[in-house]
Copies of this chain bind each other. A is one copy, B any other.
Amino acid sequence: MGVTIYDVAKKANVSMATVSRVINGNTNVKPTTRQKVIDAINELGFRPNAVARGLASRKTTSVGVIIPDISNLFFAELARGIEDIASMYKYHIILSSSDQQKTKELDLLDNMLEKQVDGVIFMGSSVTDEHIEAFDRANVPVILAATVDESQSLPSVNIDYYQAMKEAVESISDDTTSGIGFVTSPLNAKINDMKKQGYIDALKERSLPFNEESIFDGDDSYNSGIEAANQFLSLSQPPKAIIASSDEMALGVIHGAQDNGVKIPEELNVIGFDNTRLANMVRPTLTSVLQPMYDIGAVSMRLLTKLLQGEDIEQEQITLPHRIVERDSTK
């Protein structure tokens, strides 16, 4: 560029300190002086250099966001939540996808810290001791969004996955004979484990059958939902309901079942997870466990701003409400 705070100072016949004050909205400047400076800024087309400011102030007003995959609907929605609040508080987002690979996650964190981000929002499948160590060394606040850490030592924003899943199972109408299938995935391993536990406990409470065949390990894709349906329907005693840990897999289940001539919901109930826009884009429409992705992102970022600005925090581990949105794929 070229034009600096110093050029502005000269043009306005003041010191650079005064220019700095004007730029930063410091009130201790006489209105006339302020105006002189503002005029000079406009005439010169001066644009403050945030890098220099960052070096001097040790604050960059940018936060790092480590996300598994930005092209995934679920995370993209979450990212939007983060972003909206960030821009509301004048922060910038440095965004990187990790594909949930630990080395990549750790590398990204390091790179972001080199860039002197003021804080980090982390989304990942599991939080290992190595992660915790790295977060500690970071010296800036790190928030977990839609990510659980068993040690509970980090600020985080989640829903109660265990309970949500349990309710999903309970929402299925009574019929004590046949079982309920569950389609899981390795993505977000920790969270899916919690869902699985909720699923198992709920079955137990209802004295419904459970065995290894009750669970299908998908990969979070539509196609693995189709495979799951085929698998379940080929059992000697097919389940009367299938719950998938993502909407996309649930859509696959619906279509897979329909391709087998199974009527939904009459012969098979299907429940998805996340209540993404997809839930409305299928016939029958999909009953799904609403997980407020956007809000998780927004609340995470808000929490981070509080941490950054030294505001009081009542609660560092936040649990947002979930709810089952009933549509036509059940009952």
Contacts and interface: CB of A to CB of B under 8 A. Distances in A.
Interface of A: 1, 45, 47-52, 54-55, 60, 62, 69-73, 76-77, 79-80, 83-84, 87, 92-97, 110-116, 137, 139, 222, 248, 251-252, 255, 258, 277-278, 280-283, 294
B83 A76 contact: no
B94 A93 contact: yes
B116 A50 contact: yes
Nearest to A283: B255
A142 B311 CA distance: 38
B76 A70 contact: yes
A interface, by DSSP: helix, strand, loop or mixed? Answer: helix
Contact of A62 (B48, B94, B137, B278): B94
Contacts of A281: 222, 248, 251-252, 255, 278, 281-282
A98 to B, nearest CB: 10
A49 B114 contact: yes
Contact of A76 (B55, B76, B139): B76
B115 A222 contact: no
Candidate in A87, A248, A258, A294 with the most chain B CB atoms within 10 angstroms: A87
Contacts of A255: 281, 283
13 contacts: A62-B94, A71-B73, A71-B76, A71-B294, A73-B73, A83-B95, A92-B111, A93-B96, A95-B95, A222-B281, A248-B281, A281-B281, A283-B283
A179 to B, nearest CB: 26
A69 B73 contact: no
A65 to B, nearest CB: 8
